[in-house]
Structure 1
Amino acid sequence: MSSSQPSALPAFSLNIAPLRSYLLRLPLFTRAVLLFIVAFWLLELQSVWDVVTWGAIIPDESNFAALYRLNTYPVIHRGFFHALLNAAALTPLLERFEAEHGTLTALLLFVGPLSTFPGALYIIVEKFILHNNTAVVGASVWVFLLLASESIKTFRTNPYFQVGTLKVPTWTTPLFVSFVVAVLLSNTSFLGHVCGIIFGYLLGLGYLKIFVPPEKILRFIEGKLNLLGRLPHYVSVDQKTHGRYGVLPTTSSGESGVAMSSYIGSSQRLGP
């Protein structure tokens, strides 16, 4: 007589190999942004220095000495989950942008106009029009900016999507998403998201390319400094995959996707 034992249940295992492989392939500037987000979150764990107050955009403290805030606010977050959600939303968008336009172009744009212009617009509207003093931080300003830029490219090839009997322009998608986020998630800055969306539209339409030197100059800088040879995961001008600024061929089609946190005033934030 033979005896049999019940077979063991298969053990649950989480395969993180695809995620690890994806993270290891991230280009240089995207890695640097994620590193800054993590570093500033770690700094928030101590109580000696208030990192959020130091780096947030605070309209009433907008002066020459506080200009650095126009660059620090996108990489500072309020707590672990705020940083995690924004980093998860930003990574694929920023990685794609850098792969399409190159590391040097991404650096010049995101350290320059894609941070400072939305921040400056937010200060103007919040302080001088709404007369509020709501401070904001968070990478969701970049998330909505990149979504808006992508929606312009989508609009060129697929101008509308159908909602029942309505034909809705595809470029309105980030506006709809920002509205849903504002309704479903508390303490989010709808104004901050809209400021990002506005400059995302300008980026997608090509109006911000004047802030980046011509490719000839970029190639000279890359060659002179040997950036491709010296910097791992660097994407050169000649390695970009889809053309500068993502301009796609225009086709007609008749029928035819967070958060600045606030710590002053009403305590808002951008995104989840």
Structure 2
Amino acid sequence: MIGASRDALAAGRQNLESLTDSTPVDAVKLAEELTAVTALLDREVSLRRVLTDPSRSGQDKAQLVSSLLSGQVSGETADLVSGLVRSRWSGARDLVDAVEELSSYAEVIAAEKAGVLDDVEDELFRFGRVVAGSNELRSALTDPKAGATAKAELIKKLLGGRANAGTIRLVTSLVNTPRGRSLEQGLESYSKLAAARRGRMVALVTSAVPLSDGQKERLAGALGRLYGRRVHLNIDVDPEVVGGVRVQIGDEIIDGAVSSRLEDARQSLEG
């Protein structure tokens, strides 16, 4: 998002944080209701255009939301959406994306409150690795002809008893309503939300062998000092790395892998 939409989303996230941090509201229920609102706005093109029309007052749009959602969702959810439509948006689709992100963020907050956010982050990452390694599984989860129930059952079979309920809800929502996102993009967006909640960055670390707890701690500490923020590590083991580690944070890559140095040497010889 850019411009007005980015500012509006930031305000919406602050409102969600204030609500969940200062009241005993059920964050899981908020997430479920915001998902339902996302589906409504995604389906009703004329409605989202009205709710983002800059010629209409914020109060008018908020009253429309209240009348539409009254009795359908909790007062907290209606207030969050009303706050969003009071803001200015660069495009109507941005409002839908924002409500969807707040739904995912509410799941992240629920996981944090339950003390399982680290587990959820790791489970989402591992699920992404499993999908990346299986074309058959990817096809089953992204097949537009497969019904939502069948996909939900497949996810339950894969993750049931092995992952937290929040992880299963996030993956199911992504698979059944990708809204133009790939599985990788959706899972990465969840990871970024979790990192933002903790005020930290996420690093994808690829190494030839699993890292020990001590190695992870030292690497996270070094990266934290380098970037001035806490860093969460997602570890991927790839024997082809040969030795060393490859670290990716956003678009930046810190490559200390032996395989990369060998490839650089090979290219130099060929040149």
The two structures have a TM-score, normalised by structure 2, of 0.26
Q: TM-score, normalised by structure 1?
A: 0.26
* Greater share of residues in strand: 2
> Comparing both chains, which one has the higher relative contact order based on Cα–Cα distances under 8 Å and sequence gaps of 6 or more?
1
**Structure (1/2) with the larger helix percentage:** 2
